[in-house]
Amino acid sequence: MPPSRPPLHASPLAQVRDLPADMAAFLTHLRVERRLAERTLSMYHDALVRLMRAAAELSLDLRQVQPSHVRRWAARLNSQGLSARSIAIHLAAWRGLYRYLGRAGLVGLNPVEGIRPPKAGRPLPKALSVEQAVALAEHQAGAPAADEPLELRDRAIVELLYGCGLRISELLGLDVRPGGATAGWVDVAEAEAQVFGKGQRRRSLPVGPVAVHALKAWLAVRATLAKPEEGALFVSTRGTRLTDGQLRRRLAQRALDAGLGVHVQPHMLRHSYASHLLQSSGDLRAVQELLGHAQVTTTQAYTRLDFQHLARVYDAAHPRARKG
């Protein structure tokens, strides 16, 4: 059976806020039968008020609203600066109202069905400043001699993550020497890394002299940890290939010990690599190749990050950026 329409007085929320009977009944349904949280009800109420006012501007009864009206109103919300999430909540409230009315036989068309909110912008990747990245790489743990292999290993890891922009899976997949069909390796003599990225796409990357030096120092002590048959470049204290979780914990602790004041994850060093390269070169295509992105649009996220950096420099340095 279609839902009954409770009288207006059945909804205290609607009674206080003077909504039309149809909307009041819908909110009562959400509060009593669907048991939505008060915060959600409040957001839905605000969305319904906007719908009511928009329809009133065109002298429309709610049951006369068409998809063209909804598209226009959603576009207006966007132009008013509402986020994609807020617009999605508005559309969900409107769509729910018309579904409710449709089940009651009061409308034959849901004008909101099939109308989608604008896509939310992708969040900017989090990157370290150059100073933070260098401090993380050069941090000296002051560990006992027994822990020196771990310190040398961790420093080599940071230098590769930041110096080559590797994904964590690419770094953990590195072997000491070539051999595996899908395993990468680092040619220390040639200062070149061969890695297998997403889709098993292979790419070659230059390895800077600082990273080469760190790798040589680690390789000189690697045998003290690695099992004889283990081919992984980076191993744990158990002598086997380092895991994702182990690496994340060591990196987070290293950042804490170095006094960075932020929680550092492996991918932040990849983001930092890309951002700092773009700040210095501005060569988007080259950075795309180095990162192993299939589409340049993925790399373009770093141009937005770079703009934020430039904007901060401008705000701090340009006379016309300073308020009097």
Residue 202 pairs in a beta bridge with: 196
Edge-to-edge, what's the strand order for the sheet holding 192-196?
A: 174-175, 184-187, 192-196, 202-206
Which member of 50, 153, 270, 271 is catalytic? Answer: 270
**Catalytic status, residue 293:** yes
Catalytic residue status for 276: no
Q: Which of 167, 213, 250, 309 is catalytic?
A: 167
3-state secondary structure the chain: CCCCCCCHHHCHHHHHHCCCHHHHHHHHHHHHHCCCCHHHHHHHHHHHHHHHHHHHHCCCCHHHCCHHHHHHHHHHHHHCCCCHHHHHHHHHHHHHHHHHHHHCCCCCCCCCCCCCCCCCCCCCCCCCCHHHHHHHHHCCCCCCHHHHHHHHHHHHHHHHHHHHCCCHHHHHCEECCCCCCCCEEEECCCCEEEEECHHHCEEEEECCHHHHHHHHHHHHHHHHCCCCCCCECCECCCCCECCHHHHHHHHHHHHHHCCCCCCCCHHHHHHHHHHHHHHHHCCHHHHHHHHCCCCHHHHCHHHHHHHHHHHHHHHHHCHHHCCC
Q: Which of 99, 250, 267, 309 is catalytic?
A: 267
Q: Does the annotation count 198 as an active-site position? A: yes
Query: Which of 85, 116, 122, 198 is the catalytic position?
Result: 198
Which pair of tokens denotes residue 202? 């292979």
The single residue of 153, 222, 241, 293 carrying the catalytic annotation is 293
Catalytic, 167? Answer yes
- Known catalytic residues? 167, 198, 267, 270, 293, 302
